[in-house]
Structure 1
Amino acid sequence: MKRKFVIGIDFGTLSTRTILTNVATGEIIAVAEREYPHKIIDKVLPDGVTILGPDWALQHPADYLKCASTTIQEVLNNSGIDPKQIIGVGTDFTECTMLPTKADGTPLCMIDAFKSNPHAYVKLWKHHAAAEEADKLNEIAASRDEDFLADYGGKISSEWMFPKIWQILNEAPEIYEAADRFMELADWITLQLTGVEKRNSCTAGYKAMWNKQNGYPSAAFFKALDPRLEQVIDEKMSRDIFPVGHKAGEITEGSSQWTGLAVGTAVSVGIGDAHAAVIGSGITKPDILLMVMGTSGCDMLVSNSDIKVPGISGVCEDGILPGFYGYEAGQSCMGDHFAWFAEHCVPERIEEEARAANKKVLELLNEKADNIRPGASGLLSLDWWNGNRSILVDADLTGSIFGLTTATTAEEIYKSLVEAVAFGKRMIIENFINHGVIIREIIATGGIAEKSPFIMQTFADIIGKPIHIAATQQGTAMGAAMLGAVAAGSRQGGYDTIQRAGREMGKGIKKTYTPRPEHRQIYDELYSEYVTLHDYFGRNSDSPLKRLKKIKIKTMVERKETGK
């Protein structure tokens, strides 16, 4: 009997990663990754002329297809596996990453009439230019006592679906009118593979205000936002939502040509990237928090209880694992945070030392920061370089560093930035616990968790709890692959439940970071100061950080209008 395989495709912020996995064992046979040619479009459109405003973050949908095609072909070539042995395909995507399309899925930005209109492109999850719409949505929902707000911690983020749709309507009504559909890319990519539009319960529940019991908010609510939005669900979305693990369809003759996969191969409905990582890490029972540590940070767990927790990203029944309530919180800036510092703030001495040692700059910074005792630098930072996702839910907040002197070194600043993200993570965890959500264990996955012992030990020291590293490599893509196995089903050599796939293909724990008692007291003191700064700058509607951002935006608008 021939071995069976599945493919998992992880569409991340900067690249697409594809894995080929043995269904029976979870062994990864081949991995391929490609960066998006257009990267993140945040300054000017590909036309080289159209300038973007502040807080924009776009991508080009053609990049996703090109990178998927290239990486699938690469894992097939490198493994020598016959495509007919592949029984299923699963995909995950960043979220809310959304796109206006025609009814057949054609992106508006790929139509000549709209290629110079920014609103025709993919709005990446980190597109924060819909903050004004988010604020108005939250104000109107609160005034109407809308029940759905409690499922999202009391506030809808500017990163979510409907603030982005509303921004399109406000700023480019011609794009809104031309769009037959507004789609999460998690659903758009399965449409490209199968020719069938099947929207998944994960991204609908966490990013589009859909509830398993109640569906979407009422037409009356959308009308209260804007009369033009009254029928947005029926005109531009879909009320047909399918659970995670459901079969979306099969590889078509058309998609077989650009993927190299066999016609008829099962394809799972999409899922959010962080949620896929829960499954990929082999988590099949409640009360285990998974920290997904990549460009941003996401915190996921499933529970038997439905508790309304303020400041989280959402709680969704069946959003991650069937039969449980899935919780999500997170931080908008993690790997982004460290990459920014390495790119813009490192002195020449660090770069020269890294080159001499044949090391990456961040690798050297980790080593140097690890030798600095907690509290010795006198620094404390706020981790809001991309705004705050949890627990303040405020994209207008910006990062800060306190305690700088002329004696401060680059490695000290870097250590403070790492500590800031860990302090923010501790706030999220304590917010869950203080509102009755049980957390019995913490597991971490993602590039940072796998590659940086310094960062993970710092997190354990600050959070004050052991942090286990999932043994499954490529946890997000592995979760997608597991869903591909579930879409295929046991008759084809896959699995009939997500739990079974997780148990059989998951790899357990490979390492544990235990808090160091000698650092506990100083980190408790620093955390107390972090909370003070967090509340002063973050909960203050007239925060100096917000005033500074208003001045920045005003200046940028004036520059755009005058061309100077």
Structure 2
Amino acid sequence: MARTIGIDVGTTSVKAAIIDADGTVLDTFSEGYATLRPRDGHVEQDPRDWMRLVNAALAAFAGHDVTAIGLTSQVNTHVFTDAAGTALAPAILWQDGRAAEEAAGLDAQVSPAQKQDWWGAPMPIDASNVLSRMAWMARHRPEIWDQTRYVMLPKDYCLFHLTGAAISDPLSNIGLVGPDLAHVSGALDMVPGAADRILPLAQPCTQIGAVQSGPFRGTPLICGTMDAWAGLVGTGGARDGTMMYLSGTSEILGISSRKVVPTPGAIVFADCDGVRLHAAPTQAGGDAAAWFAGTQGLTLSDMADQVTAPRSAATPLFLPQLEGERAPLWDADLRGAFLGLSRQTDRTDLARAVYEGVAFSARMALEVLEISADVTGARIRCGGGGFRSVPWAQIRADILGKELHVLAAGEPGTLGAASMAAIGAGIHDSYAEANAALARFDRVYTPDDQAHARYNTLYELYREAIEIHADLGKRLIAANR
């Protein structure tokens, strides 16, 4: 039976799985690596850790007969390399806000009409955009910029070191590629030298080469694409009108729709192989939970155990923007807060508030997508580690007012990568066919009407609190510098 490997180079770990043609997961791998925060707003990783664990995953799967391998990874994470693929500096993660000033300058140069023409949607140029990062490197680390041959995404860095091919895909290159799936020359022209340091593009399911060494030497490697797109497709996004929700380090909401209503705050991907995704990635999901659990000396499982009792009157409101926000606000200077603390507030109340705050941010992102895609629905297909927590999943259902169907495989990124490998190898003919064969859902969370009504009131307070707190948070950042 034909089998594929899906590898996801994520924000906190490398995850991989061997999946056969009927969706059975035969073996899995998961191991984490360090993220460094050397100063406020700087978030980095060592790219060598990605390859170390990709190779470890392949070694763990030695002995299996595999038809093809697919890769996906975090995006808006960039590594500056020389011609041999050697990293010249630590990788700059998507959470990193160091290029906010450069982003504001670039964004001011592009009118809403020009954005619509370039990208098919009025997307902002924010601190995580590769153009902002290039401008920052040229300005602050010219010695690195001068040596740079490629600016790579994690997936592309790993593909290069596995096959020797320097290549990327159009969907992963947010802000550089237009609706025609080609580079936007006008965008590249804004940063001198940018066009000389980008990678050529191939479609996600294209075979780009073969593994050059190790237990899977000679096995075809498929180009793949970004984790959000792979995960959204892995949970069912190939079907038009479908709503998806991925929960990992951040929350990523998505809707598949051919219709586009230009809406600030949303990302609209170009139509690729008959799939057009509208997406809204937030900045914090599991990362906010991990932060709180760490401050309390808890594991994430311990934190979930805290949230078993009904919501109390002492539960505060939590703003999860610990390191700014992406969709739909796109503001790197926002900061988090607990509001409404009282003497009666205990750790259980705080843990619940963190779960609720993340779910409120997801609701805000989803509302923007429903406008952008002109789609509303009562059911969302869900996946990712954040849905392992039963109380958190129920809180999400109650806040969103939607029925949540959770993917049995648990890791939509590896499933999406394996699906692309299966299509690239000819095992399946389309994303819809691959998803129908591979995706299984084993849990459903139904919103409680009474809880949803209460959360509607709290959600309006959440939206108002972000607006009021935004200026105070920025002034505090300035005062602390």
TM-score bin, normalised by smaller chain: over 0.9
Alignment partners' CA distance in 2, 1:300 and 1:213: 21
Match of 1:472 in 2: 409
Whole-Å separation in 2 of the counterparts to 1:427 and 1:168: 33
- In 1: Cα distance, 2:233 partner to 2:36 partner: 31
Query: CA separation of 1:143/1:427 partners in 2, compared to 1, >3 Å: closer, same or farther?
Result: closer
Q: Does 1:515 align with 2:477?
A: no
Q: Which residue of 1 aligns with 2:13?
A: 15
User: What is the rounded CA distance, in whole Å, between the counterparts of 1:151 and 1:55 in structure 2?
Assistant: 30
Equivalences for 1:213-252 in 2 at 5 Å?
A: 213=180, 215-219=182-186, 222-223=188-189, 225=190, 229-233=191-195, 235-238=196-199, 240-252=200-212
**Cα distance in 1 for residues equivalent to 2:23 and 2:180:** 34
Distance 1:513 1:486, change over 3 A: same
Question: In the alignment, which residue of structure 1 is the partner of 2:241?
Answer: 287
SS at match of 1:6: strand
Aligned ranges for residues 21-60 of structure 1 at < 5 Å?
A: 21-22=19-20, 24-36=21-33, 39-43=34-38, 53-60=39-46
Query: Residues 474-525 of structure 1: CA distance to partner in whole angstroms, max 9, x if unpaired?
Result: 2211111111122222xxxx22333322222222x21111111221222111
- The residue type equivalent to 2:35 in the other structure is I
Task: Give the distance between the partners of 1:499 and 1:365, measured in 2 at CA.
Answer: 37
The yes-or-no answer on 1:72 pairing with 2:58 is yes
Stretch of structure 1 that moved more, 404-413 or 150-159:
150-159
SS in structure 2 opposite 1:459? helix
Answer yes or no: is the 8 Å Cα contact 2:306–2:351 preserved in 1. no
Structure with greater helix percent: 1
> RMSD of the TM alignment (CA)?
2.1
Which amino acid is the alignment partner of residue 25 of structure 2? I
* Cα offsets for 1:419-441 (capped at 9, x unmatched): 11111111112222245521333
Contact 1:468/1:513 (8 A) holds in 2: yes
| SS of 2:61 mapped into structure 1 | helix
Contact 2:260 2:373 in 1 (8 A): no
1:383 aligns with 2:320: yes
Counterpart secondary structure, 1:86: coil
For structure 1, which runs of at least 5 residues remain unmatched after alignment? Answer: 44-52, 109-119, 352-359, 555-564
Shift of 1:236: 1.0
Residues 368-397 of structure 1, C-alpha deviation per residue, up to 9 Å, x if partnerless?
A: 323032x62251121201211111101110
Q: What whole-Å deviation, never above 9, does each CA across 1:36-83 have from its counterpart, x for those lacking one?
A: 2xx01222xxxxxxxxx321111111111111111211122xxx42xx
SS of the residue corresponding to residue 201 of structure 1 reads coil
Does residue 469 of structure 2 align to residue 531 of structure 1? no
Change (3 A) 1:436 1:6: closer
- The answer to whether 1:300 aligns with 2:261 is no
Distance 1:481 1:182 in 2: 25
| Distance in 2, Cα, partners of 1:325 & 1:437 | 13
Counterpart of 1:327 in structure 2 is 278
Q: Which runs of 5+ in 2 are unaligned?
A: none
Give the whole-Å Cα distance in 2 for the aligned partners of 1:105 and 1:292. Answer: 31
Match of 1:370 in 2: 308
After the TM superposition, which residues 94-133 of structure 1 pair with which residues of structure 2 at under 5 Å, given as runs? 94-108=74-88, 120-133=89-102
Aligned residue identity for 1:527:
Y
Looking at structure 2, the residues matched to 149 and 401 of structure 1 have their Cα atoms a distance apart, in angstroms, of: 39
Provide the rounded CA distance (Å) in 2 between the counterparts of 1:466 and 1:479.
Answer: 22
Match of 1:504 in 2: 437
Report the TM-score, using the length of structure 2 for normalisation. Answer: 0.94
Q: Distance in 1 between matches of 2:419 and 2:188?
A: 37
Deviations 1:264-287 (A, max 9, x none): x11111311122112322443012
1:551 aligned onto 2:466? no
SS in 1 for 2:84: coil
Match of 1:166 among 135, 139, 163: 135
**Cα shift at 1:213:** 2.3
Matching residue of 2:166: 197
Instruction: State the number of aligned residues.
Output: 480
Distance 1:301 1:396, change over 3 A: same
C-alpha distance 59-477 of structure 1, shift in aligned 2 (>3 A): same
Question: Residue 139 of structure 1 aligns with which residue?
Answer: 108
Give, in whole Å, the separation in 1 of the partners of 2:113 and 2:250. 33
Pairing 1:63–2:24 present: no
Is 1:315 matched with 2:268?
Answer: yes
| Residues 345-494 of structure 1: pairs in structure 2 closer than 5 A | 346=296, 361-373=299-311, 376-435=313-372, 437-440=374-377, 441-449=379-387, 451-489=388-426, 494=427
Q: Is the 8 A contact 1:243 1:318 kept in 2?
A: no
